[in-house]
Amino acid sequence: MLTIGFRFMTGRYHATPWGAHVNEGLVEWPPSPWRILRALIAVGFSRAGWKEVPDEARGLLAKLAASLPTAHLPPATASHTRHYMPPFAGNTTKVFDTFAYVGDGILAFTWDIELEDEERRLLDLLLRATPYLGRAESWVEAARYEVIPPGLDECSPSDSCPGPGLERIALLAPESPTVYAQWRATAVQREEGRSLAELVAKATAKAKAAPKSLGKKDASRIDKLFPSDIVEALLADTKTLQAQRWSQPPGTRWVAYWRPVEALRAPASPPARSRSAQMPTMALLALASDTKRGQVLPSLADALWRLEALHDALVRLSTRDKGTPSPVFSGKSDGRPLSGHQHATLIPLALDARTGRLDHVLVYAPMGFDGEARSALTRLTKTYAKDLPTIFVTLAGLGRRSDFVKLVPAARASRCFRSVTPFVPPRFVKQRGSNTLVEQVQAELERRGLRRADAVEVLPDGGRRFRAFRKARRDAERAPPMRLGVALRLRFAEPVDGPIALGYASHFGLGTFEPDDG
C-alpha cells in the first residue's frame, strides 16, 4: 500500500476541472489522479533536472497509472474571491477564483501497489520538491506516509454507490498502460483508414490511380498524433492538446468517485454586521521627503506640526459637494462634535528603527472610514508645512486592526504601554481630585472605551521631549491648557488592544503609546 499526503501551506486548494472555465466557479475536489501524476512529471523536469523521463520514473508512473487511488479528504469549504484582471486590450475582466479551503488538514491518496526501493526514493525526492498542486497559489508540503492520517473522509472509485450519504463526482484518471496500448493501436489504425479513404476519394475525383497505402510522411504524421505510451500521454501539454482539438487528453478516462455529501461545504452565511463593522478602521500612510533636497524625513519632534497639516489635507479632500467634510476627519456630524473619540486619530510611526524618523502614519478611526474618507486617503499625495520640505504621502494599506498588528507595533495588544510622544494633560493639573495627572490619564482611557490602568508611572524624559515638540510646532493658536508634557508607562491587569493615544492633541500625534515588552 502506497500513501502520499499534501498539506496546503495557505490552507487553500485552487484547481479548475478539465473542460470547465475558471469563471464557472467549479473546484476539482479532490484533485484528479491525472493531475497528481502530471504534477510529479512537472517536478521532475523543473526541479529534478530531467531532460527526459528516466526509466525508473517511467516504471513508477506506469504503476501509479495502472491503479486507481482512493482519496482521503479533510474537511473543506468552497469559497472564492473576485477581482479584475487587465486583458491585452479593452476593459478589465472580472475573474472568479474558486478554491477549497482546507485549513491545516492533510489530503491523502492511497494506491494498492508496492514500490521498489529505487522507486520509493525517486517518489520521495519528487514529493519533497513539489511546490504546489493545482494552480500556483496552492502551495503544498508533499510527503509519503506510512499510515493514513486520522480524521479523513474516504472518497473511492466505484461504478455504483457504495453507501448512503455519498455523492458522485467524475475525476479524470489515466488509463492503465495495457489499455492505453490497445486503444492507441486501434486509434492509429482507424485514423490511417480514414486518411487513406480521403486520398482514394481525391484520386478518383481527378481520374488518377488510387493509392493502396499511405506514404511514410502521412503514416508518421498519424503516429505522432497519438503519444507512444501512457507516460508520453501524461507529458502532453494543455496548449498542444487544445490545438489538436482533443475533447479530453488522450490516454485518460472519466472515473466515478463517491465522496461524502458534505465533503465540500458551502460557506456559512456570515452574521449580520453593522455598516461600521464592515468598514475598514485603519489606514497606513507611507511618507517620503522632497527628493530635490534628499531623502530626509522629519524627526518625531515634528510630528504634531506635520500631522496637523496632514489632517487638514484629509479634511479638505473628504469635503462633499455641499461643503461638509467627512465626520471621520472633522469629528463633527451635523455641526455637532462626535463623542467617544470614534473619529480619526493620526499616530506618528518610526518603523525604520535605524533612523528613528517619522516615516509612516497610522490613521485609526473606530467608526470606520466612509466613502468620502476612503477617497481622501486614496487621493492624498502630499502635504506641506510652512518653511519645511514637502512630504509625499502614499496609501500603503487599508483594513482592520488584525491586518496591521504584525507590521505596526502600536496596533498590538499588551499589558504594558510606554509613551512614544509626550502626554499633554487636556486640563490644568491639580494636586487633588479628578484633575490630578493620574486621574486625567484614567479619564482619557475611559472616554475611549478602554479599561482603567492598574498603574500610571511618570518617566523621567518626558519634559525634555515635550520642549522639542513645542519648539517644532511654532503655533500658538491651538495652545494646550498648560505647558506640561510627560512620558508615561501604563500597566493593565489584562492585555489591551492598541493603538492608544491620550490627552491634548492626541488626534494629531501627541500622547501616543506602543507596547512596552521590556
Residue 173: band (very low, low, confident or very high) from pLDDT cuts 50, 70, 90: very high
Q: Domain locations in the chain?
A: 2-175+251-265, 182-228, 275-408, 412-515
Cell triple for 409: 507595533
How do 264-265 and 76-85 pair as beta strands? parallel
pLDDT value at position 117? 92
What is the distance between the alpha carbons of residues 299 and 469, in angstroms, rounded to a whole number? Answer: 10
Q: Which is more confidently placed, 275 or 312?
A: 312
Mean pLDDT of 406-433: 90
pLDDT in tens, 483-499: 778 889 999 999 999 99
Cell triple for residue 317? 479632500
Q: How far is CA 505 from the centre of its chain?
A: 37
Can you name the residues that pair with 440 across neighbouring β-strands?
none
Taking a C-beta distance cutoff of 8 angstroms, is the pair 124, 114 a contact? no
CATH T-level fold of 2-175+251-265: Alpha-Beta Plaits (3.30.70)
Give the pLDDT band of residue 22 (cuts 50, 70, 90): low
Strand 76-85's sheet: what is its strand order? Answer: 12-13, 93-101, 76-85, 264-265
CB 73 within 8 A of CB 151: no
Of the candidate ranges 16-20, 38-42, 136-140, 511-515, the one whose mean pLDDT is the lowest: 16-20
369 vs 354, more confident: 369
| Band of residue 91 on the pLDDT scale cut at 50, 70, 90 | low
Neighbours of 487 (CB within 10 A): 21
Give the model's pLDDT for residue 476.
45
Mean pLDDT of the chain: 85
Phi, psi of 416, deg, nearest 5: -140, 130
pLDDT beyond 80 at 292: no
Cα three-residue angle 495-500-505, rounded to 5 degrees: 165
Q: Which residue has the higher pLDDT, 11 or 80?
A: 11
177 within 8 A of 229, measured Cβ to Cβ = yes
Q: Is the dihedral of CA 510, 298, 305, 346 positive or negative?
A: negative
Helical H segments across 130-270, by residue range: 177-205, 216-225, 230-235, 238-243
**pLDDT higher than 70, residue 53:** yes
d(CA 382, CA 314): 10
User: What pLDDT band is residue 474 in, cutting at 50, 70 and 90?
Assistant: very low
pLDDT exceeds cutoff 80 at 389: no
Per the model's pLDDT, the better-predicted residue between 211 and 467 turns out to be 211
> Phi/psi at 243 (nearest 5 deg)?
-65, -35
For residue 163, what pLDDT is reported? 87
Q: Report the pLDDT value the prediction gives residue 256, as an integer from 0 to 100.
A: 93
Q: What is the pLDDT of residues 193-245, one digit of tens each?
A: 888 888 888 888 888 888 888 888 888 888 888 888 888 888 888 777 777 77
- So what's the pLDDT on residue 518? 60
* Percentage of the chain exceeding pLDDT 70: 88
Quickly list DSSP for 46-72. HTS--SS--HHHHHHHHHHHHSPPEEE
Q: Among 1.10.3720, 1.10.1740, 1.10.8, 3.30.70, name the CATH number for the domain at 275-408.
A: 3.30.70
Q: What single letter denotes the amino acid at residue 179?
A: V
Q: For residue 118, what pLDDT band results from cuts at 50, 70 and 90?
A: very high
pLDDT at residue 320 tops 80: no
Task: Residue 390: count other Cβ atoms within 10 Å of its Cβ.
Answer: 15
Residue corresponding to grid cell 498542444? 240
Beta bridge partners of 282: 364, 399
Mean pLDDT of 361-387: 86
Lowest mean pLDDT: which of 294-298, 404-408, 419-423? 294-298
Average pLDDT of 350-355?
Answer: 81
Amino acid 293: pLDDT: 54
Same fold, 2-175+251-265 and 275-408: yes
pLDDT at residue number 71: 95
Strand-pairing partners, residue 260, are: 166
Q: Tell me the per-residue pLDDT of 134-154, one tens digit each, with 9 for 90 and over.
A: 988 899 999 999 999 999 999
